[in-house]
């Protein structure tokens, strides 16, 4: 019997995992260092959202959480690119009917927490920071953030769902043969707001993810249900066009007037937001093994923090929870399931880490590049003709359940093939017969 189970971290992944444990009829203690967000005021105008797509929905569906989260979703059918002159260009994400969704991060977390508690299987403890980890005995110490009171408990199984700076992982790092690397990219990010407008509600089209690609930096905007957009500026810290060089209001205003004039006209609170919202760094984490002696298992960002450019960080964590659940079904013995999960899933953590790093360049630079657009359009056309035999990389990652490691490898190969095909003059406007003849030798299909 796996009777004493603990989840450290009640973030997005911890909260979903709690629902999965409850569905297995397992009693769980879940500890979170922050206050309960359902009982804390979120400052007005600070709705933060994230992109949700198929892998995430599937993981939610297993525990019956999909429907309630769908209520929060705003479909985004493609990328709407804005150039400096204010011209826009729409790039669909996939075929007709394929779209990603903008979902409020806070609401998603709160609903998952409430669903978990409603099962009667999950005890949640807030303001409790995990401050000591005894890996051999499964004993954890939590320190209350308000009172400083310490509590110590021992568990049979402990999940480290405590994010990119995981306390559980820190303890594992002090053991032999634990590999770890973290990497900060040179860019950081700042969240800004585009408030609702009275007549139309959303100031710009709410059916797309907006991108203002500017080569070394970019602004993006995702819609919220209240009619606002959460805008995020991704930019290097250093250099002339870098966060460290935008110190005064005049500099910020001039920067937006120069690079994002059409967005600026809808951002009346820009300077206020600039001052009140932090500029945060972006990092990736790679480590292994995620399992320690069948007692501890790292989940979500604690195991595989990635940069946000594929909109898959949380989703990868959600998919991991679903896969772990399948392994618990398959192996029954939890020691084996933890070990197998760690071995199986770690290459996928590395896959999505690399895909997300590559996508930064694509979003801020390549989406405005003729050669890239041509390859992307041709890839879509090949998919129309060859179906499952050729799935564009974005489709594989976003609208399929192909392993991230496999998607990454196939994407590398496809890019090479597309470069070769485009060099021969092939394009989306070539005839079907021409495309078939050119692509068939690569795919080794015969009809
Ligand atoms: C700008 C940005 C945009 C993003 N956009 C997307 C997106 O569009 N789609 C997507 O899928 N992903 C996105 N992500 C990634 C996503 O936010 C993360 O992958 C996700 O939050 C990971 O969930 P988690 O539960 O593993 O970690 P977290 O959300 O970090 O939760 C960990 C929890 O553990 C708690 N904790 C930490 N230490 C302790 C401790 N010692 N004791 C107790 N509790 C502790 C924390 O307070 C936190 O609540 C984005 C990330 C960023 C930075």
pLDDT (0 to 100) of residue 402: 97
Peptide bond just before 289 cis, omega within 30 deg: yes
pLDDT (0 to 100) of residue 444: 77
The residue-averaged pLDDT of 260-272 equals 98
The residue-averaged pLDDT of 52-62 equals 98
Summarised one tens digit per residue, pLDDT across range 240-257 is 999 999 999 999 999 999
**pLDDT tier at 2, thresholds 50, 70, 90:** low
pLDDT (0 to 100) of residue 96: 87
pLDDT (0 to 100) of residue 43: 58
pLDDT (0 to 100) of residue 95: 86
What is the rounded distance in angstroms from the CA atom of residue 56 to the CA atom of residue 73?
12
Pocket test for ligand 1, best of 308, 312, 356 (most atoms within 8 A of CB): 308
Contacts of 79 (CB under 8 A, 6+ apart): 90, 91, 93, 208, 209, 210, 211, 367
Summarised one tens digit per residue, pLDDT across range 76-106 is 999 999 999 999 999 899 888 999 999 999 9
pLDDT (0 to 100) of residue 410: 96
Distance 349 CA to ligand 1 centre (A): 15
Q: For residues 294 and 41, which has the higher predicted lDDT (pLDDT)?
A: 294
Distance 311 CA to ligand 1 centre (A): 12
pLDDT over threshold 60, residue 38? yes
Atom 15 of ligand 1, nearest CA residue? 313
Give alpha helix (H) positions in 161-300. Answer: 167-173, 249-259, 261-264, 270-276
Summarised one tens digit per residue, pLDDT across range 19-31 is 999 999 999 999 9
**pLDDT tier at 362, thresholds 50, 70, 90:** confident
| Residue 223 in contact with ligand 1 by CB distance below 6 A | no
Residue with tokens 């880490």: 353
DSSP symbols for 53-87:
-HHHHHHHHHTT-HHHHHTT-EEE-EEEEE-TTS-
Reading the block at residue 82, the tokens are: 């804005």
Give alpha helix (H) positions in 387-423. Answer: 393-399, 404-423
**pLDDT tier at 42, thresholds 50, 70, 90:** low
pTM summary value: 0.96
Distance 278 CA to ligand 1 centre (A): 16
29, 153 contact by CB (below 8 A): yes
| Residue 167 in contact with ligand 1 by CB distance below 6 A | yes
The residue-averaged pLDDT of 221-231 equals 96
pLDDT (0 to 100) of residue 170: 98
Residue with tokens 């769980």: 28
Distance 301 CA to ligand 1 centre (A): 6
pLDDT (0 to 100) of residue 1: 53
Summarised one tens digit per residue, pLDDT across range 105-139 is 999 999 999 999 999 999 999 999 999 999 999 99
State the closest ligand 1 atom to the C-alpha of 282, by its place in the atom list counted from 1.
53
What share of the chain in percent tops pLDDT 70? 98
Distance 97 CA to ligand 1 centre (A): 29
pLDDT (0 to 100) of residue 361: 80
Atom 29 of ligand 1, nearest CA residue? 11
Distance 377 CA to ligand 1 centre (A): 34
pLDDT over threshold 80, residue 378? yes
> Which strands form 74-76's sheet, in the order they lie side by side?
49-52, 100-104, 74-76
pLDDT (0 to 100) of residue 46: 59
108, 100 contact by CB (below 8 A): no
Summarised one tens digit per residue, pLDDT across range 321-361 is 999 999 999 998 999 999 999 999 999 999 999 999 999 88
Distance 313 CA to ligand 1 centre (A): 8
Q: Which domains does the chain have, with CATH numbers?
A: 5-72+104-180+283-358 (3.50.50.60), 183-281 (no CATH), 369-443 (no CATH)
pLDDT (0 to 100) of residue 366: 74
Q: 10 Å Cβ neighbour count for 140?
A: 25
Mean of the per-residue pLDDT values for the chain? Answer: 95
Atom 9 of ligand 1, nearest CA residue? 311
- Phi, psi (5° rounding) for residue 186? -75, -15
| Eight-state DSSP code of residue 389 | G
What is the rounded distance in angstroms from the CA atom of residue 116 to the CA atom of residue 18?
6
Summarised one tens digit per residue, pLDDT across range 433-445 is 999 999 999 997 5
DSSP symbols for 421-432:
HHHTT--TTS-H
Q: 10 Å Cβ neighbour count for 243?
A: 18
CA nearest to 9, candidates 284, 301, 289: 301
| Residue 246 in contact with ligand 1 by CB distance below 6 A | no
pLDDT over threshold 80, residue 400? yes
Distance 13 CA to ligand 1 centre (A): 8
β-pairing, 122-125 vs 279-288, is unpaired
| Residue 315 in contact with ligand 1 by CB distance below 6 A | yes
| Residue 288 in contact with ligand 1 by CB distance below 6 A | no
| Residue 159 in contact with ligand 1 by CB distance below 6 A | no
pLDDT (0 to 100) of residue 370: 86
What is the rounded distance in angstroms from the CA atom of residue 7 to the CA atom of residue 430?
55
Q: For residues 415 and 370, which has the higher predicted lDDT (pLDDT)?
A: 415
| Residue 351 in contact with ligand 1 by CB distance below 6 A | no
Distance 353 CA to ligand 1 centre (A): 15
Distance 153 CA to ligand 1 centre (A): 25
The residue-averaged pLDDT of 407-431 equals 96
CA nearest to 51, candidates 100, 107, 106, 111: 100
Contacts of 97 (CB under 8 A, 6+ apart): none
Atom 49 of ligand 1, nearest CA residue? 11
Distance 111 CA to ligand 1 centre (A): 16
Pocket test for ligand 1, best of 10, 11, 166 (most atoms within 8 A of CB): 11
| Residue 190 in contact with ligand 1 by CB distance below 6 A | no
3-class secondary structure, 411: helix
What is the rounded distance in angstroms from the CA atom of residue 63 to the CA atom of residue 69?
12
Atom 17 of ligand 1, nearest CA residue? 314
């Amino acid at each position: 019997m796996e009777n004493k189970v603990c989840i450290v971290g009640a973030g997005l992944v911890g909260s979903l995992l709690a629902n999965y444990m409850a569905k297995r009829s397992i009693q769980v203690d879940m500890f979170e260092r922050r206050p309960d967000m359902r009982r804390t005021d979120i400052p007005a105008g600070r709705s933060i959202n994230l992109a949700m797509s198929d892998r995430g929905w599937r993981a939610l569906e297993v525990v019956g959480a999909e429907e309630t989260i769908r209520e929060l979703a705003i479909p985004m059918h493609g990328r709407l690119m804005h150039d400096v002159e204010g011209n826009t260009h729409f790039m669909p994400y996939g075929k007709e009917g394929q779209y990603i969704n903008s979902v409020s991060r806070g609401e998603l977390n709160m609903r998952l927490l409430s669903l978990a508690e409603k099962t009667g299987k999950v005890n949640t403890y807030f303001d409790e920071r995990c401050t000591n980890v005894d890996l051999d005995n499964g004993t954890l110490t939590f320190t209350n953030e308000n009172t400083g009171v310490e509590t110590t408990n021992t568990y049979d199984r402990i999940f480290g769902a405590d994010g990119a700076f995981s306390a559980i992982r820190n303890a594992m790092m002090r053991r032999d043969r634990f590999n770890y690397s973290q990497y900060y990219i040179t860019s950081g990010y700042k969240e800004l707001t585009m408030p609702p407008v009275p007549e139309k509600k959303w100031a710009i089209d709410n059916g797309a993810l907006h991108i203002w690609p500017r080569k070394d930096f970019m602004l993006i905007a995702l819609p919220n249900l209240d009619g606002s957009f959460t805008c995020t500026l991704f930019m290097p810290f250093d250099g002339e066009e870098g966060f460290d060089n935008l110190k005064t209001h005049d500099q910020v205003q001039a920067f937006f007037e120069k690079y994002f004039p059409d967005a600026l006209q809808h951002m009346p609170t820009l300077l206020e937001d600039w001052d009140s919202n932090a500029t945060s760094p972006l990092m990736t984490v790679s480590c292994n093994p995620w399992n320690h002696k069948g007692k501890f298992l790292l989940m979500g960002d604690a195991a595989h923090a990635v940069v946000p450019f594929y909109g898959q960080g949380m989703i990868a964590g959600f998919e991991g929870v679903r896969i772990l659940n399948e392994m618990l079904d398959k192996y029954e013995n939890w020691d084996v399931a933890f070990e197998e999960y760690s071995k199986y899933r770690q290459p996928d953590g590395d896959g999505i880490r690399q895909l997300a790093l590559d996508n930064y360049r694509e979003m801020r630079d390549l989406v405005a590049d003729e050669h890239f657009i041509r390859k992307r359009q041709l890839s879509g056309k090949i998919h129309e003709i060859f179906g499952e035999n050729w799935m564009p990389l974005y489709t594989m990652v976003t609208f399929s359940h192909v392993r991230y490691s496999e998607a990454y490898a196939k994407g590398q190969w496809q890019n090479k093939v597309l470069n070769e095909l485009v060099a021969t003059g092939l394009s989306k406007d070539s005839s079907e017969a021409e495309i078939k003849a050119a692509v068939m030798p690569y795919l080794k299909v015969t009809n």
